[in-house]
Amino acid sequence: MKTEALDLKKNYLVPCSYNLYQRPPEIVRASMQYLFDANDTQYLDFFAGVSVMNCGHCNPQINKAAKAQIDKLQHTTTLYLTRPIGELAEQLAAILPGGIKRSFFCNSGTEANEGAFLAARLFTGRRKIAALTRSLHGRTNLAMSATGIPMWRTDPFLDTAQTAILPGPYDETAGMVTDAAAAASLSTISATLAFRDFAALIIEPIQGNGGIIPLPDKYIQQLRQICTDTGTLLIADEVQTGFARTGTMFAIEQSGVVPDIMTVAKALGNGFPIAAYCTTDTIAQAFTKPSASTLGGNPVSSSAALAVIRYIKKENLVHRAKELGEKLMTGLLELKDRHAIIHDVRGRGLMAGAELYKTDGTPNPEGTDLVLEYAKDHGVLIGKNGLHRNVLAFQPPLIITEENISRMLSVLDDALTHLSRTSAS
Ligand SMILES: Cc1ncc(COP(=O)(O)O)c(C=O)c1O
């Protein structure tokens, strides 16, 4: 008899690899916004593998491009001359803001951020990296050291001498972004960077893992100014927000700010492993010693990514995410009016979060888990994040329909009603 997938995971993976659900379905296939388990039960996907499947699961147009490439040429490394990687860099240059035009390809968001730190150090000749509270930038030592969320800072030997986690605009007492917290944050960041010993400040324009926290436009503009004034490079981590999700191709565009370096991953490959840090000609020129990533930007992943960009443009997913995002936000705000357990609703485009509190005014991670489990048992997969794991995350494939949103909202409504009748409310 075949071993259960759950037992395989329990017995052979490192235990840090956990499940989102008490009773996880075994997902065996997928099609656009739907996942199917081993019993062929259909699930409407509102998490997209954490903001990855923007163009939908097993999208035929993207898979066709990848399949054509895999049968022709799969791998060479950047030491050999191939076309897809160059074409992808050209296409990225066309959609990236300002003068950002050069890309270094790798395989994950972590690696892209690590590469961005290296690029910033090479250019500035400075060593330190600053990041915000409630941020997540990766799993390698430096990227983890520059991660603000305590639960993701697992390495007992973080590089705390060369990194600083500075306060962001989220007010921990109010449980939301406030003007006062934003002002205090800017003042600390300004005082810290004034010493001119930081190579870079890295920000997520919308903090994903931190609890879907959009940084206010004015706040980002002021960060830009502080960085410019102190010779610190501004890195925009668009690993989770990139590629049409927030109603613009990249979330930082909404503030009008152009960062010095941008990192991209996740949705760029729509499931194929590919990531990059992208920067200006001037900053890129500081990196002249040879370097390579064995699999970074390989022909198959690059062909898939090229198909992703084509698909986003052809289907106008930027516009779609904006329009459907408004419907999602209206629906979530209506639910907030009727369910006291929803403390705050926020987001942009199809990247929204609902923070759940208990009746005693404290974060409600148990209730969040109950809602997730209930929704899953009723055919809808919602994500979660936040410092206290009490924020419902809505980040569906951008090809979902209005009807899909209505269905998710109706299941969520039932789940919240169900929750209010339990001791976890
Ligand atoms: C904003 C952000 N940056 C970086 C990462 C790390 O990306 P990866 O898991 O591809 O290494 C993540 C992962 O969730 C992320 O959300």
Q: Is 240 in the pocket of ligand 1 (CB under 6 A)?
A: yes
CA distance 137 to 139: 7
Distance from the alpha carbon of residue 240 to the mean position of ligand 1, in angstroms: 7
Calculate the CA 424 to chain-centre distance.
Answer: 29
Domain boundary among 256, 287, 314: 314
Residues 330 and 306 in one domain: no
Q: What is the pLDDT of residue 289?
A: 93
pLDDT for the residue 214:
98
Confirm whether 206 is domain-assigned.
Answer: yes
Q: Which residues of 73-110 are buried (b: 16+ CB within 10 A; e: fewer)?
A: eeeeebeeebebbeebbebbeebbbeebbbbbbbbbbb
Tell me, using a 6 A CB cutoff, whether residue 137 lines ligand 1.
yes
CA–CA gap between residue 341 and residue 326 (Å, rounded): 22
Which residue's alpha carbon is nearest to atom 4 within ligand 1? 137
Pairing relationship of beta strands 42-45 and 100-106 according to DSSP bridges: unpaired
Residue 385 lies in a domain: yes
- Predicted local confidence at residue 261, as pLDDT: 99
In this predicted model, what pLDDT tens digit does every residue of 311-338 receive, in sequence order?
999 999 999 999 999 999 999 999 999 9
Residues 232 and 346 in one domain: no
Residue 54 Cβ contacting ligand 1 at under 6 Å: no
The sheet with strand 275-280 has its strands ordered as 100-106, 275-280, 261-264, 233-237, 198-203, 128-132, 163-166
| Nearest atom, ligand 1, residue 107 CA | 10
Question: Which atom of ligand 1 is closest in space to residue 265's alpha carbon?
Answer: 10
Count CA atoms closer than 13 A to 209's CA, side-chain side: 18
3-class secondary structure for 338-378? HCCCEEEEEEECCEEEEEEECCCCCECHHHHHHHHHHHHHC
Counting atoms of ligand 1 from 1, which one is nearest the CA of 113? 4
Our mutation pick for probing the ligand 1 site, out of 145, 204, 240, counting the most ligand atoms within 8 A of Cβ, is 240
pLDDT for residue 319: 98
Please count the other Cβ atoms lying within 10 Å of the Cβ belonging to residue 20. Answer: 14
Same domain assignment for residues 103 and 190: yes
What distance in angstroms lies between residue 309's CA and the mean position of ligand 1's atoms? 20
Inside any domain, residue 48: no
**% pLDDT > 70, the chain:** 100
Torsion sign over Cα 321, 323, 329, 332: negative
Identify whether residues 294 and 383 lie together within a single domain: no
What is the percentage of the chain residues whose pLDDT exceeds 90?
A: 97
Same-domain check for residues 159 and 280: yes
Residues 82, 207: one domain?
A: yes
Asked if the structure places residue 360 within a domain, the reply is yes
Nearest atom in ligand 1 to the alpha carbon of residue 50 is 14
423, pLDDT greater than 80: no
Of the candidates 341, 354, 364, which has an alpha carbon nearest to the alpha carbon of residue 392? 354
Question: Residue 2's pLDDT is what?
Answer: 83
* 133 and 69 within one domain: yes
In a domain, residue 292? The reply is: yes
pLDDT band at 422 (very low <50, low <70, confident <90, very high): confident
Q: Is 109 in the pocket of ligand 1 (CB under 6 A)?
A: yes
Report the separation in Å between the CA atom of 370 and the middle of ligand 1, taken as the mean of its atom positions: 26
Last residue of a domain, one of 260, 288, 314: 314
Q: Checking DSSP bridges between strand 163-166 and strand 128-132, what pairing results, if any?
A: parallel
**Cα of 338 from ligand 1 centre, angstroms:** 34
Q: Is 370 in the pocket of ligand 1 (CB under 6 A)?
A: no
pLDDT tens-digit profile of 12-70? Answer: 999 999 899 999 999 999 999 999 999 999 999 999 999 999 999 999 999 999 999 99
Residue 297: the pLDDT is 96
Residues 78 and 186 in one domain: yes
Mean pLDDT score across all residues of the chain:
97
Residue 424: what pLDDT? Answer: 79
Q: Which of 140, 213, 266 to mutate to test the pocket of ligand 1 (most atoms within 8 A of CB)?
A: 266
Q: Is residue 85 part of a domain?
A: yes
Residue 56, in any domain of the structure? no
Specify whether 241 is located in the same domain as 353.
no
User: HSE-up of 268 (CA within 13 Å, CB side)?
Assistant: 35
Distances (CA, A) of 314 to 55, 267, 272, 288, 412: 11, 16, 20, 37, 32
| Mean pLDDT, rounded, for 136-154 | 98
Q: Measure 422 CA to ligand 1 centroid, in angstroms.
A: 34
Mind listing the pLDDT tens digit for each residue in 246-295?
Answer: 999 999 999 999 999 999 999 999 999 999 999 999 999 999 999 989 99
Which letter does DSSP use for residue 273 in this model? -
Q: Which atom of ligand 1 is nearest the CA belonging to 143? A: 4
Predicted local distance difference test score (pLDDT) of residue 3:
86
- The predicted model gives 185-200 an average pLDDT of 98
Q: Is 114 in the pocket of ligand 1 (CB under 6 A)?
A: no
Per-residue pLDDT tens digits for 336-357: 999 999 999 999 999 999 999 9
Cα angle value 309/311/312 (rounded, 5°): 65
Same domain, 182 and 72: yes
CA of 425 to the centre of ligand 1 (A): 31
189: in domain:
yes
Could you tell me the pLDDT band of residue 398, with boundaries at 50, 70 and 90? very high
Q: Looking at the structure, do residues 156 and 295 belong to the same domain, yes or no?
A: yes
Query: Could you tell me the CATH number of the domain that includes residue 333?
Result: 3.90.1150.10
Q: Are 304 and 85 in contact (CB under 8 A)?
A: no
Number of domains in the chain: 2
Residues 290 and 389 in one domain: no
Helix, strand, coil % in the chain, rounded to nearest 5: 40, 20, 40
Domain span at residue 339 reads: 5-39+317-396+412-420
Last residue of a domain, one of 280, 314, 348: 314
